[in-house]
Amino acid sequence: MTVPFHTADLLPLFLHFVMLSLLAVGGAITTAPDMHRYLVGEQHWLTDAQFTASVALAQAAPGPNVLFVAVLGYNVAGLPGAFVTMAGIMLPSTTLALWATRWGRSRRETRGVRAFTLGLAPLTLGLLLATGWVLTEPARDSPGAMLLVGLSTVVMARTRLSPMWLVALGAVAGAAGYA
């Protein structure tokens, strides 16, 4: 069961996403469990199924994954809700990122900043591999889908073909039942 949303609720909705923005190290998706706790468990503005469908839809559409936040906001409170959740999740992190980049760039040749970026580079590679692995999860019981994973890995690593063609191939193969 969901609870009706009032215009006055836009402010607490906004503030909750402002708070999550600063915790979203590694991307907004890492805070999804807390969004679920707040929107479904505490406020009852969404059902479990609505929450899951919102995230799945955003994963399938183009654009940064953070846009799932706008879909959640839209399903809670229409367009004002989408605006409020996106503004909340974006404002603090973008301000901080811009400030930190400028601070780091003016010192980019110093030993501290170089140790920071060079030291974290292997961890970044590990996180990319982990992300790739997690994304293959739905494909693992389908030979066709695993073939698509392998094909797109090799083609992208060895050629300069635009990824769009591979995505289109994946869509056609999937619609035809081969994924």
Partner 1 sequence: MPESGQPLRQPQSCGELFRVFTLLALQGFGGVLAVAQHELVERQRWLTRDEFLEMLSVGQVLPGPNVVNISLMIGDRFFGWRGAASALVGMLAAPLVLMLALAMLYGRFADDPRVSGALRGMGAVSAGLVLAMAWKLVGSLKKNPLGLTTCLALGALTVGLVVGMRWPLAWVLAGLGPIAIGLAWWKLRP
Binding positions for partner 1, 56-85, rule CB under 8 A: 57-67, 70-71, 74-75, 79, 82
Q: Binding to partner 1 by residue 143, rule CB under 8 A?
A: no
Eight-class DSSP state of 41: I
DSSP assignment, residue 9?
G
Report the residue number, 43 or 74, with the smaller CB distance to partner 1: 74
Locate 143 and state its tokens. Answer: 């030979």
Q: How many residues bind partner 1 (CB under 8 A)?
A: 98
Q: CB of residue 84 vs partner 1: minimum separation in angstroms? A: 13
Cβ proximity to partner 1: between 8 and 105 the closer is 105
Identify residues 103-132 at the interface with partner 1 (CB under 8 A).
104-105, 111-112, 114-132
Place of tokens 């949303």: 5
- Nearest-approach distance from CB 62 to partner 1, in angstroms: 5
CB of 137 to partner 1, least distance (A): 9
Report which DSSP code applies to 141. Answer: T
Smallest gap from Cβ 155 to partner 1, in A, equals 8
Cα dihedral across residues 138, 90, 38, 130: positive or negative = positive
Distances (CA, A) of 88 to 53, 62, 84, 143, 168: 21, 21, 6, 42, 33
**Quick one: residue 44, left, alpha or beta (phi over 0 = left, psi -120 to 50 = alpha)?**
left
Binding mask 4-43 for partner 1 (x = CB under 8 A): -----------------xxxxxxxx-x-------------
Task: Please state, in angstroms and as integers, the Cα–Cα distance from residue 140 to each residue in 7, 40, 133, 135, following that order.
Answer: 45, 30, 10, 10
Kindly tell me which of 36 and 173 has the beta carbon lying closer to partner 1: 173
